[in-house]
Amino acid sequence: MLKEIRKAPLVLALLALTNMAWAEDSISVDMNTGRGGEARRADDPTEFKVCADQDNLPYSNSKQEGFENKIAELIANDLGKKLSYQFWYDRMGFLRNTLNAYRCDVVMGTTSDNDATLNSKPYYRSGHVFIYRKDSGYNITDWDSPDLRKGVIGIVGQSPATRPLVDHNLMGNARPYRMQRDLNLPPSYLIDDLVKGETDIVVAWGPIGGYYAKQAKIPLVVVPIPEYEDVNVHGKEYWNISVGVRKKDKERMAMIQEVLDRRKADIDKILDDYGIPHVPVVDGDRLGKTKPKDRVQGDVIPKSE
């Protein structure tokens, strides 16, 4: 009798689960999720669904005003598909909650050696830039430029550009900013502080620096920083950028690659219109110069930089 009483809660629980399984109308399922044990979004062959940040210009925003929005629109139109988005802040957990959860299918910008995704051939290459006010009279072309020692240098802490800063004994001039931006601040915060005079020089990832320098209310000078990888691999300044999909999505990637190849001139024009500094792609970037065993995992450029 005692054993039967002890088993009763388990029996009742199993009966409840059985009733739930039959009462399909009572179960609420979010078809846009893809976590374990839940139904996931069914692939729609007529849709080009992009994983993107809703507030991260110049890349993307919810109004589709970024250059990656424009390139996604170009690809979708070329393929005759309807463009849609799953927005998520581009920070820790971005891929887990978007691409890998099957809420969307395409990431418009990732480093070409990112081993978490199947990547297209690079469609552009960019690097870090020096930015300073035109009326400063500075003439900064590389890390040895004397004018670098005359002012406060705004730089993202732990970014690759901090390596040459340390090597040239310039850290005393640095004003470090967080690697993962404070979402209470606009993506333009580095350039905003330069315009306000809180810093004198900014070292920024090219797409961020180039775009916001072009938008600034005062004249700014943007100078590409010479590659530093041959001096110190951890100070690498330039990166190939690709479109990324899930590793199994080879057919989807093949379609995207055809458009990237065919519409290269149009894509370059979008980059130029947004002030995105770009240089010719380097084949075999990173792994071609550096042995895989020397590679530092996670040594990539976040879009928030």
Q: Is the pLDDT of residue 190 over 80?
A: yes
What are the pLDDT digits (tens) for 231-254? 999 999 999 999 999 999 999 999
In the chain, what percentage of residues exceed pLDDT 70?
Answer: 80
Cis omega (within 30 of 0) on the bond before 45? Answer: no
Q: How confident is the model at residue 182, as a pLDDT?
A: 86
Q: Is the pLDDT of residue 92 over 60?
A: yes
Q: 47-124+239-294 and 127-235: same fold?
A: yes
2-31: average pLDDT: 42
In the chain, what percentage of residues exceed pLDDT 90?
Answer: 75
| Amino acid (1-letter code) at residue 107 | V
Q: How confident is the model at residue 32, as a pLDDT?
A: 52
Architecture of domain 127-235: 3-Layer(aba) Sandwich (3.40)
Q: Domain 47-124+239-294's class?
A: alpha beta
145-170: average pLDDT: 95
> Residue ranges of the domains in the chain?
47-124+239-294, 127-235
Q: Which residues pair with 153 in a beta bridge?
A: 174, 201
Contact 78, 261 (CB under 8 A): no
The reported pTM is 0.82
Residue 296 DSSP code = P
What is d(CA 38, CA 223) in angstroms, rounded to the nearest whole number?
A: 50
Q: How confident is the model at residue 43, as a pLDDT?
A: 84
